[in-house]
Chain A
Amino acid sequence: MRLKTSLFSHELAKQNFRQVGWISLIYMVSLFFFVVMNVILNIGNVEEYYYELWRNELFHLGAGFQLIFLFLIPVLMAIFILRYLHQKDASDFMHSLPISRTKLFVHHVGFGFIALWLPILLTGLILFIIANVSNVAHIYTLSNLAYWILMSLLILSITFSVSIVVGMLTGISIIQGIFTFIFLFFPAGFTLLLIFNMNFALIGIPESFYLGELDKFSPITDVAQLTVEEYASPLKVMVYILGTIIMLGLGLFLYKKRPVEAATQPIAFQVLKPIFIYSFTFCFTLIGGFYYGIIQTDIRWILFGYGLFSLIGYLISQVIVQKTWRVFHQWREYLYFCIGAIIFMVLIVFDITGFENRIPKLEEIETAYLITDTYMFNNRESFYGNLNGFTDPTDIEKVQALHRQFIDQSRRADFLDHNRWDITVRYKLKNGKDFVREYHMLDLPERFPIYTELINSTTYKLYTEPIFLIDQQLASSLRFSTIGSYKELTITDRDQIVEFIELLRQDVLEEPKYARETMTYIDIHMVDQADLGRYIYVEDERIINWLKQNKLYEQAMITVNDIDRMILSDSASYEEILYAQNHNFDQKDFKTLLVTDEEAMQDILDQTQMGYVEDDTYIVALYLKQRLDPIIIYVDSVLVPDFVTEYFN
């Protein structure tokens, strides 16, 4: 008698192959068409791809289908590989055989992994061979290819293993499919719903601070970033791998506990039924609040949304659990849910933890920040490391005072107002923790003078403007370009660059809040740091003088010498001006002023700006020498020279 103790059974593998081999084959064929064929067709097509070198082209072959398949194929695979668990006769048969559950699990799941990975690895091999025999550098490099293989495998694996766990929790294949996607999306979706809904009641929730990272909570939302950016942090790779391993462990654990008779039952474990009903109803309730919060922005509608959606969610969950439409006599759990939900809401509305009124004490605070754009703030923090906020006790007290005003003057309804300003107050505490609150205020600058004072302070600019955060020694070049690339100038002299950046910093510090943009944009190219760029402002006296001193002004800026003529109007739009120009100013609908005198043009040019400010603005069509199309700039009516005002009145 042979002893059968090995974990491998030839016949089981054969059965698996007959069961799911076709999925693998379909995936292989589609990858061939999505990826390999597209690569082959574009081998000679260098120019078209030249401008898209910045992103990983491999993931974008196949017009998005490749990304959809990254999620669809593993779920299909999991459904079919666990199909025997969801059919009564197959389930009885498989579990009557002399195979332990561990072995069944290892066989099925292991086969699923091989069947998922093989198409990727084979495609990778083909792409590797193509890269070696012909020039495809404009589509992918070998490191692109390695990244493509790695990320594809990771996403397939985590999706497959989540679907295996879901398959263990249910006895119906279609539920396995649907709930896999719900589970994958759950961490991001639930966080969003919870935080959004809590905002209706609790003032100060640092929503942007949490939600900024939200897309990383789910592979489905993360995939956009993973496939566009040519980078996944080692931490993220570890999370995907660990997540897969944990899911597989959980899957095996559940399999050993799973009753075989759960086949065709919507929920395999008895204990999960109430948990499912309550959490499903809760999520639907939150969706109701979210939906009405966005479309109605009225607290009464939101309450209505809670009621309606909790009812819908409850009935759906009952329909799923009972596997019947006749659930309208089951109200006991809904009653419990409503009681629980009301208690929960009351606890939040009355803020029993004192969340709203808490402000850290001065002696606890190390640094305080006022943040108007959390996304950019977080970006700067991850680019440049720790940012220097307000550390001076007088400044911190100002932040605290402002914080107190926010607490006192915030209204719950402000969150629902589309005209709100979002403002985050963040303290870094001496115990190493972060204390963050976010407020949504109307007319922020007008109502809070301390706010205006703080954001115009040097400290604020030092942690907000990237120019102060870069290492000037790492700047490799300065590039000046005027609008329409009429003039371009690049400086690569290291000393000049450093000198320029230091002057620019002084200008930025003294810049008023509403500065006027000139027509010149500077790009500072960095080595090993993110490049940065900004317009030169009329108020940037130091750098403008520096340009003049170094005889670079004419090369970098548009001066009156470049201008052929100007056409001003107080009422016409850009299109109207163009039309008028094409028809030799025959229009009577509006008045235009043609200026060709150099001195007059200089007077106007001194007062113009790129950005459109107020309604009371003159539009200036600027015709550069040897250019057909005008540049459109603006002059504030307050600043416009007298002869213009006289002409139009």
Chain B
Amino acid sequence: MADNSLFILLCSGEREKIQMAAMMASVAAVSERPVQVFVSMNAMLAFDTKMAVEERYHGGAFAKLLNDQKAPDPILLFQQGKDLGDLKMWACSMALDIQGWEMSHLDEKLFDGPMGLTKFLSDAESGQFVTL
């Protein structure tokens, strides 16, 4: 049966796409929609707690504008979505393995744990699915 859950597959390391993922996730969460975000590929690098803030994102002209205009940091938006709604974030187990990372590489308050793609796709069968 279809439900109103939102599933976001976030692969890009571009600020523009991470920003949009964070905006969608936080707004949906505070609008009473359950949200799950699966972070993989280059996007994973932006959540590295050992990464300096200014090196966290890359991107195009709009990424520079977001930075210059002091748009809220995507990580802050994700955190607010978690604090105020039902938002879960999962780290791709394959990407963790390829990077040689443990979960301690990622913010423990932000991530709910590692997850495989099969489980994520299975959970997403009945909801709305967005890839960025």
Q: Bound pair: A and B?
A: no
Q: Which residues of B contact A (CB under 8 A)?
A: none
Q: Which residues of A contact B (CB under 8 A)?
A: none
